Amino acid sequence: MPLPLHDNDPPPLPAMEMTQFNTTVGLGGEDSDGEEQEDLSRFGMGDNLQSVSRRTSSMGSEGDGMQLLQTMEIKSTFAPEGQKQSTQKNLPLSVRINHYLFPPHLPPAVQLLRMENLAIPACYFLVGSLQGLSGVLMNVYPIDLGATEAQQITISGLRGLPASFKLVFGFISDGYLLFGYRRKSYMFIGWALCGGSMLFLYLTIKANGDPNITFLSCMYFLFGLGFWYADVMADSVVAEKAKLEPEGTRGSLQSTCYAMRFFALMVFSPISTWLYAAHGPTSVIFLMGTLPLVIMLPLVLRFREEFNPIVMTPKQQCNEIWKTVCSRAVWQPMGFVYLYNVLQVGNAAWKQYLVTVLEFTSVELNSLLIASYVLLYVGVMSYKYYFIKWSWRKVYIFTTTINGFLSGLQILLIFGITFGLGNFWFALGDDAMAEFIAGIQFLPTTIMMVHLCPVGSEGASYAMFTTVHNAALNLSQVFSTLLLGIWPVGKAVLQAANHNCLDCLEDIDCVGGGGGEGGTGFQTCPAEEGGSELFLPIYQPDAGVDCSMCLGGEAVQCAVPDDTDALNICEAPGVSGFVKLTLLTTALQISGLLFVKLLPGTREELMAMNKGSNSSRVGGTIFLTITGVSLLYSVVAGVLNIVSPGWSGES
């Protein structure tokens, strides 16, 4: 006889669904997993449920206790959201805490706080921690040791070179088991190498004093090699487990992991700065050496992964990847990712403007950086809890529009319109908010990449997709540098626009418009309303003149390059070109929306692209060509930075 129901109760669960529910929460039954019961007992939930089960069993199959239990089960699983929250409030506090830590609607494999899964969030947290800690150490410590500019470039190249081989790391772990595991063993070795290299550096410094540049470079290289190998393994594991998420929570696993990463980056970046200033570099090195060894190695050993799984041969892997990239579901959205990121061309002279014209101190620049990390984390969390329900197209349209508005604020700052705020606080809202936008945009791309990964080749395919993403950003930085030559926005011009030169050569008669010693002539510029005429000396390289322009009778110093015949500054030198450069870069960034139709709106649209005859060998060839050229450029540039520093014209 069916159990009596209240008027507002949903119908009872079918036998199959009831058995599945009992198995999920650990009540047991003929088909229940004993291991799940053991896990629930370990986390404090098994005893409570078993106690309820014993009490209801003594009342008979139709007793009030069983009716209460079944009603609670039905409501907590299938009730509307408001009713579900009300039911949750009626549960004991210990059960509610357990549900929060180990959501019952998620499969055990994606419950990140289970002991066998804890290595995953810990890995992302440690990646962010080490990125925050290494900032000062990697950039400042070589300078303190007296490294030349060439040596600094070499050290930077060695540190970043392993990142160019992420695709290789993923390919190896996909097809070659190590001690019976695809990811676990490689992750263990990566973190051991990462922490061991820094710990060895620490012990060497303690024993012998400051290291030489060659030894420091080798330790940095080993650190980067282990770091990126472990990072690729973590991404591969998440790409596998993300496919196990229920339909309604897709993307939550990745957003949680990356939230951990950016939170750690936000926290440890200022800690690193303080430690380096207060206790020296060895304190940072010691922390970077011990964290991977003490935290990650034990957790990796507890990480649960299938032992001796069936893996594809290298030929099968290559065929699977080729089939994947030929799919319209891959080359079309990844084409958008590449084009959009290439067009995110920033104003490469902006930091110079902050320092030269607005006279920002190093403390203020560091404060901007820390605030950027904070808002980057806030952006990721905003997507996790709010924007995750939006379509991917809407996210990009919204964030790109906001980014265009923020660029407009940059122009206001250039003209000194800050609405009563100081320059620092106005720039803080501008620069830091740009990172907030970047945080929102970051997750849709990574979530889409996971859905594109074929089963069995998650490591290589995800690394390939991130390579395309990063290569586009690197190319946009190259374009940013090239645009600096269009208008005079260099340091010298900005100095001329900002600093009065009261000790100019007396033989330059700015007001009279006559030529001084050296035969310098003048060009008269129209006076602005309420202002005075601007007399511009036409600079001649052989005249030996240190003063190249005058405003209102006061000379202004400007170190004009020797190859400049004349400098027209009638429109406020430096500032006019800077405004034009800002407008151009803003237009380029917004123009990425022209390709937004290439991006599917939802996961369902993405999957629909993968059906039928939506395959193109041409699209796959173009995609692989871009990936290959990007990888080749990264490797060649990295090697040249090591063997021939300054090859690209750096000063």
- pLDDT of residue 66 exceeding 80: no
Query: What single DSSP character describes residue 555?
Result: E
Answer for the pair 583, 483: CB distance below 8 angstroms, yes or no: no
Backbone torsions φ then ψ of 181, nearest 5 degrees: -125, 150
Indicate whether 81 pLDDT > 80: no
Check whether 523 has a pLDDT greater than 50.
no
Indicate the SS3 state at residue 554.
strand
For range 446-456, the mean pLDDT:
87
Tokens of 186: 């490689």
Q: Is the pLDDT of residue 324 over 50?
A: yes
pLDDT per residue as tens digits for the range 396-429: 999 999 888 888 788 888 877 888 888 888 887 6
Residue 348 confidence (pLDDT): 78
Domains and CATH numbers, the chain: 15-105 (no CATH), 114-311 (1.20.1250.20), 314-489+597-651 (no CATH), 491-573 (no CATH)
Ranges 8-12, 119-123, 365-369, 594-598: which has the least confidence: 8-12
Q: How confident is the model at residue 277 (pLDDT cuts 50, 70, 90)?
A: confident
Confidence (pLDDT) at 193: 97
Three-state SS sequence of 499-551: CCCCCCCCCCCCCCCCCCCCCCCEEEECCCCCCCCEEEECCCHHHCCCEEEEE
Q: How confident is the model at residue 576 (pLDDT cuts 50, 70, 90)?
A: confident
Asked whether the predicted pLDDT for residue 268 surpasses 80, the reply is yes
Distance CA(132)–CA(366), nearest Å, equals 13
Query: Hey, what are 569's tokens?
Result: 């500054």
Task: Return the residue matching tokens 């002991």.
Answer: 115
Q: Which residues pair with 522 in a beta bridge?
A: 537
Residue closest to 182 by CA, chosen among 291, 296, 317: 317
Output the six-digit token pair for 414: 């250039």
Cβ 555 vs Cβ 510: under 8 Å: yes
Task: Give yes or no for a contact between 328 and 600, defined as CB atoms under 8 angstroms apart.
Answer: no
- Which CA distances in Å does 97 have to 117, 149, 191, 381? 18, 55, 32, 21
Cα–Cα separations (whole angstroms), residue 362 to 272, 365, 368: 16, 5, 10
Residue 561 banded pLDDT, cuts 50, 70, 90: very low
pLDDT digits (tens, 9 = 90+) for 465-482: 988 888 888 888 778 878
- Measured CA distances, 28 to 2, 13, 25, 49, 50 (Å): 22, 16, 8, 10, 9
For residue 261, give the DSSP letter: H
Query: pLDDT value at position 612?
Result: 62
What is the overall mean pLDDT for the chain? 74
pLDDT at 27: 37
| Of 274-278, 348-352, 401-405, the least confident | 348-352
Q: How confident is the model at residue 395 (pLDDT cuts 50, 70, 90)?
A: very high
- Find out whether 175 and 314 touch, Cβ atoms under 8 Å: yes
| pLDDT in the model for residue 347 | 81
What 8-state DSSP symbol labels residue 294? I
- 491: pLDDT confidence band, cut at 50, 70 and 90? low
- The whole-number average pLDDT for the span 523-534 is 40
Contact predicate 428/283, CB 8 Å: no
pLDDT at 429: 67
Q: What is the rounded distance in angstroms from the CA atom of residue 152 to the CA atom of residue 142?
A: 7
Please name the residues in contact with 79: beta carbons below 8 A apart, sequence gap of 6 or more: 10, 87
Q: Tell me, what's the pLDDT at 220?
A: 92
Q: pLDDT tens for residues 94-114? A: 888 888 888 888 889 889 999
* The two structure tokens encoding residue 507: 């033989």
- Do residues 70 and 3 make contact, with C-beta atoms less than 8 angstroms apart? yes
Cα–Cα distances in angstroms (integers) from residue 17 to residues 20, 35, 70, 77, in the given order: 5, 20, 12, 11
Please check whether residue 26 is in contact with residue 40, taking contact to mean a CB–CB distance below 8 angstroms: yes
Q: How far apart are CA 585 and CA 479, in angstroms?
A: 10
Give pLDDT, residue 304: 93
The pLDDT value given to residue 85: 52
Asked if residue 303 has pLDDT above 90, the reply is: yes
504 Rama sector, left if φ>0, alpha if ψ -120 to 50, beta otherwise: beta
Identity of the highest mean pLDDT range in 50-64, 183-197, 248-262: 183-197
* pLDDT single digits (tens) 51-62: 333 333 443 433
Residue from 378, 368, 391, 385 nearest 448 by CA: 391
**pLDDT band for position 160 (cuts 50, 70, 90):** confident
Does 39 have pLDDT greater than 50?
A: no
